[in-house]
Amino acid sequence: MEQIIEVNIGASPVPKSCKINSPKLKEPMFKRFVEDLNKDRKKDMTFFYNNLDTLEIKYIPPYKGICYDAAAQYSMDKNIIEVVCGDRVDTFIDHELLHMASSTVDEEGNIYSGFIQARGELGIGYGLDEGYTSLLDDRYFLNRTEEKPQRNQETYCVVKYIAKLVEEFVGQDKMENLYFSANLLELIEFLAPYTSVEQSTQFIHDIDEILIGFEQKRFKRFFLCLRKFAECSRFMAEAWYARVTEGYIDGKLSDEEYKACLEDIKKMLSNRLKLIHFPIKSKSNSKYYKVIKSRVDKKLMEHYKQLMLDELVKEGKIPNTEEAKQEEYKKLDKRLYKMYGKRKDTIDTN
């Protein structure tokens, strides 16, 4: 995947027909996928049925490999799933079938796949799409093989966490409908009233940056991704704050309910320090490990303290003076050390 750059976001195409009589539906792999996915609630399977007849599954030798050490990948424009020989297909094939089931290409060659919109090297939504695809894979297919739960836990974990935050805000049914109809535009329109179209679009871009930097092990972008993760957390917190405040003003929430919601929002922001380490488990790119191991906690703490200071000034809890900030900084330092200073390093370098 090339570096994500801006692309115009449009409405996904409406299929002219749905091919529901493919002989491939009798094959165990596809039959089981459809049954398990629709067990609790029927999904929009239009793209899946329309892609199934022409879908190819190609097995390639390990030495050829797939980008970023993946065991399989789905090519949206060619409708091909490539699988590295030697890995158990049952462990990851459902993830790729989810990509296939949410993909379509319009007459002009624009690709719509889950929350991705792309044309050539221009694209947006890869991070949210991989995160939500992984979330659905966990939800419907986690027990396919013994090794799948552990493998899924280590795959796309940061973007999956953000996708879960988005789904909690949007609602599971609506989020799944938007994914299987490849409707990124409607998702942005849903978020925009609580933030703005520009902020919502930037939020999608930020998740792309996180995918590139963390999940694909580009460690030189590591600290940029820390900032992007903090901004994504802040975006979701601000969206929730706007929604619950609106509900409180309209009388839909009591004082107690409103206060409870605000506490939940604060917890959402506090998760960043614990979660941010999780993807750093690969033994590749080992020359960066000593730098990351020695600097990451300090960098995270400083960044988080600055965010907290800015928030306190914004809320009018402390004066906007250097003296007041320095005094509060000392308090934050003690509080954060008490919370995180004695924890074991969560970066796995073994």
Residue 76 included in any domain = yes
Q: Is 8 exposed, middle or buried (0-12, 13-18, 19+ CB in 10 A)?
A: exposed
Instruction: Provide mean pLDDT across the span 153-162.
Output: 83
Residue after which a domain boundary falls, among 198, 219, 240: 219
Are 205 and 321 in a shared domain?
A: no
Are 149 and 285 in a shared domain?
A: no
The answer to whether 126 and 70 have CB atoms below 8 angstroms apart is no
Residue 253 included in any domain = no
| pLDDT score, position 344 | 34
Residue 159 included in any domain = yes
Are 59 and 208 in a shared domain?
A: yes
Are 315 and 198 in a shared domain?
A: no
CA–CA distance, 326 with 323 (Å, rounded to integer): 5
Range of the domain at 56: 23-219
Residue 288 included in any domain = yes
| pLDDT score, position 109 | 87
| pLDDT score, position 335 | 60
Are 213 and 139 in a shared domain?
A: yes
Domain count, the chain: 2
Are 45 and 175 in a shared domain?
A: yes
Does residue 289 register a pLDDT over 50?
no
Are 195 and 314 in a shared domain?
A: no
Question: What is the torsion angle, in degrees rounded to the nearest 10, for the CA atoms of residue 149, residue 152, residue 153 and residue 158?
Answer: -160
Indicate the pairing of strand 80-84 with strand 56-60: parallel
Are 208 and 292 in a shared domain?
A: no
Residue 149 included in any domain = yes
Does residue 268 register a pLDDT over 70?
yes
Average pLDDT over all residues of the chain:
78
pTM: predicted TM-score of the whole model, two decimal places? 0.75
CA–CA distance, 79 with 306 (Å, rounded to integer): 47
Are 176 and 45 in a shared domain?
A: yes
Q: Packing angle between helix 172-180 and helix 184-191, nearest 10 degrees?
A: 150
Are 207 and 287 in a shared domain?
A: no
Instruction: Specify the range with the lowest mean pLDDT, choosing from 122-131, 264-273, 279-288.
Output: 279-288
Count how many Cα atoms sit within 13 Å of the Cα of residue 279 in the half-sphere of its side chain.
23
Does residue 97 register a pLDDT over 90?
yes
SS (H, E, C) the chain: CCCCCCCCCCCCCCCCCCCCCCHHHHCHHHHHHHHHHCCCCCCCCHHHHHHHCCCEEEEECCCCCCHHHCCEEEECCCCEEEEECCCCHHHHHHHHHHHHHCEEECCCCCEEECCEEEECCEEECHHHHHHHHHHHHHHHHCCCCCCHHHHHHCCCHHHHHHHHHHHHHHCHHHHHHHHHCCCHHHHHHHHHHHCCHHHHHHHHHHHHHHHHHHHCCCHHHHHHHHHHHHHHHHHHHHHHHHHHHHHHHCCCCCHHHHHHHHHHHHHHHHCHHHHCCCCCCCCCCHHHHHHHHHHHHHHHHHHHHHHHHHHHHHCCCCCCCHHHHHHHHHHHHHHHHHHHHCCCCCCCCC
Instruction: Provide mean pLDDT across the span 143-164.
Output: 82
Residue 324 included in any domain = yes
Residue 11 included in any domain = no
Are 83 and 166 in a shared domain?
A: yes
Residue 49 included in any domain = yes
Are 166 and 290 in a shared domain?
A: no
Instruction: Provide mean pLDDT across the span 234-253.
Output: 92
| pLDDT score, position 66 | 58
Residue after which a domain boundary falls, among 172, 192, 219: 219
Question: Which residues on neighbouring strands pair with residue 74, listed in sequence order?
Answer: 81
